[in-house]
Structure 1
Amino acid sequence: MRSARAVLAWAAVAAAVVVPVALAAGSPLLAWRSPVYIAAGFAGVVALGLLLLQPLLIGGYLPGLTPARRRRLHRWVGVALVAALVLHVAGLWITSPPDVIDALLFRSPTPFSAWGVIAMWAVFATALLAALRRPLRIRPRWWRAGHVSLAVVIVAGVAAHALLIEGTMETVSKIVLCGLVVAATVKLLVDLRRRGAQRPGQKNRPRPRSGERSELA
């Protein structure tokens, strides 16, 4: 029974990530786009899918993973997320440098551009914070606060950016994926807050289940 639930959980997550990509691949709008622009667009779609995995890994919501393996996967997914974002922006720069410059300077008339730029800088700031955590000996309390705050900015920015764009992504699957990303993040924030509130009363704190402990806890 437990293994069946684990398979269903992983299958649901895989479907949530793969289905939007597959539907975007069948968009008729791709016929008028250059290969570089298409690659840049799909890099953004992949980044959105990777973003769903991060709160699921941190919160221990994906079955069958030890805490150590979850932390390693979280780091590698973070690296992949940064790489996908760089490919997304680089491809858009190659196809239309003026539009990218306007977006970076917040001069673009399209609202989704501003949200995308905000999310981009938050992703880079998160990666920098993770890289400097040990060299700068950042205290766990400040690390958690900074990491969680940036994660909220990233999720809000990416969701707004994706939902406001009318492009190759199929509408329903895009809304569902964005909703799952937001819901998973909110669930994680609630659980982290609950666990933090329980710390002063260690005597009454229930023992965590296997794999429940969060990397940020």
Structure 2
Amino acid sequence: MSLARATLKWAALAMAVAVPIVAAATSPLLAWRDPVYIVAGFAGVVAMSLLLVQPLLAGGYLPGLTVQIGRRIHRFVGVFLLIAVVIHVAGLWITSPPDVIDALLFVSPTPFSAWGVIAMWTIFATALLVAFRRRLRLNARMWRRVHTIFAIVIVLGSVVHAMLIEGTMETVSKAALCALVLAATIRTVVGLRAFATRKISR
């Protein structure tokens, strides 16, 4: 791949990640929010942006990175994703504990809450799966299938959660980011052939 083409791809990714964050930062709704709530909201925006990067790293689609290096970075980004989600939920808990409790119990009147909680618990489950992978003695095929299923649930839950919220994220940039996250996830799932019945050589 030529240097110019690789540069364009990295620039496109940077723009896809940065534009929603910048758009959220300029939202007039921030003027009426507490600092803790703002931090929690931005942690959610960052988490959505990381969901775009994750499948691209796992699939080896980022120029200049080998598949091995990409997946190594994928693990580190997963840690940052987990931290972002914890900050997001913790901030919302500080600002409004009853709303978070209702969301965790799936009794919240806001539909987006349930999708966010499903994605959150699946992220936590993925972290536990990674931590105890050796003890669980999962072979490569089973690991890839379970991890892929978790990733699909996380992406779908997060996208629906984000699209249903009318908050600081700008509508068009949010929709574009969610579409890109879905596209990147589908491409990686298909490319990795996680559910193929034949032995995976990659």
The TM-score, its normalising length taken from structure 2, stands at 0.95
Q: Distance in 2 between matches of 1:137 and 1:30?
A: 47
Residue in 2 aligned with 1:126?
A: 126
Q: Distance in 2 between matches of 1:6 and 1:197?
A: 34
Distance apart, 1:194 and its partner CA: 8.6
Structure 1 counterpart SS, 2:136: coil
RMSD between aligned alpha carbons? 1.7
Structure 2 counterpart SS, 1:65: coil
Deviations 1:30-59 (A, max 9, x none): 000000000000000000000101110111
Residue in 1 aligned with 2:155?
A: 155
Residue in 2 aligned with 1:72?
A: 72
The 5 A counterparts of 1:59-208 are 59-193=59-193, 196=196, 199=199
Residue in 2 aligned with 1:31?
A: 31
Mark the runs of 5 or more structure 1 residues left unpaired by the alignment: 203-216
Distance apart, 1:137 and its partner CA: 2.1
Distance apart, 1:199 and its partner CA: 4.7
Residue in 1 aligned with 2:19?
A: 19
The TM-score, its normalising length taken from structure 1, stands at 0.89
Change (3 A) 1:119 1:27: same
Distance apart, 1:195 and its partner CA: 9.4
Distance apart, 1:106 and its partner CA: 0.2
Q: Which amino acid aligns with 1:42?
A: F
Change (3 A) 1:97 1:65: same
Q: Distance in 2 between matches of 1:152 and 1:135?
A: 24
Q: Distance in 1 between matches of 2:27 and 2:170?
A: 8
Q: Distance in 2 between matches of 1:149 and 1:80?
A: 20
Residue in 1 aligned with 2:53?
A: 53
Mark the runs of 5 or more structure 2 residues left unpaired by the alignment: none
Q: Distance in 2 between matches of 1:4 and 1:195?
A: 35
The structure with the largest alpha-carbon Rg is 1
Q: Distance in 1 between matches of 2:195 and 2:105?
A: 40
Q: Which amino acid aligns with 2:147?
A: H
Q: Distance in 1 between matches of 2:192 and 2:66?
A: 18
| Contact map agreement 2:60 2:71 (CA 8 A) in 1 | no
Distance apart, 1:139 and its partner CA: 1.6
Q: Distance in 2 between matches of 1:97 and 1:69?
A: 40
Structure 2 counterpart SS, 1:166: coil
Identity %: 67
Q: Which amino acid aligns with 2:56?
A: L
